[in-house]
Amino acid sequence: MNISSASLCLVLLLAPSVPTFAQSAHPEPGPSLYAVNSAAISAAMTYCMAKYGPLTTGSRSAACFSRARNVLADFGLREKSVRIDQTCNNPSQFNTCITPEIGRFVIALNAEFGKQGL
């Protein structure tokens, strides 16, 4: 087997794995995305439960939570997480940096819930 045949065999053998190494059209979520999403859902649940009582099917609290989820959809959670990741870009201080950022985010979100009249 000459070098060109060996190269062709190598290309043919490795070709199926190329998509594995290609970049995704959707970038991987940043380190704060899950924290932002979790804080957002928790804030919505807590806001509605504090205002209307237990979150049960058909309750005023459930209706509030449904409206709150619509607010979350328009609140730009991914963009907020990208900004937090840019602010908290030192891995050794990420945890101490993200905590106040998430706190400010939840305060802004609760203010938005109030503004929207939930």
> Can you say how many angstroms the Cα of residue 66 is from the centroid of all Cα atoms in its chain?
19
The pTM of the full predicted model, rounded to 2 decimals, is 0.71
Q: Is residue 3 part of a domain?
A: no
Check residue 4 and give its pLDDT.
41
d(CA 40, CA 53): 19
Number of domains the chain contains: 1
Query: Which tens digit of pLDDT belongs to each residue from 47-61?
Result: 999 999 999 999 999
- Asked, for residue 10, whether it belongs to a domain, the answer is no
Residue 17's pLDDT band, with cuts at 50, 70 and 90, is very low
Q: Which residues contact 116 (CB under 8 A, 6 or more apart)?
A: 67, 71
Provide the domain limits for residue 91.
30-115
Burial of 94 (C-beta count, 10 Å sphere; 0-12/13-18/19+): middle
- Residue 16 domain-assigned? no
- Residue 8 domain-assigned (yes or no): no
- Judge whether 70 lies within some domain: yes
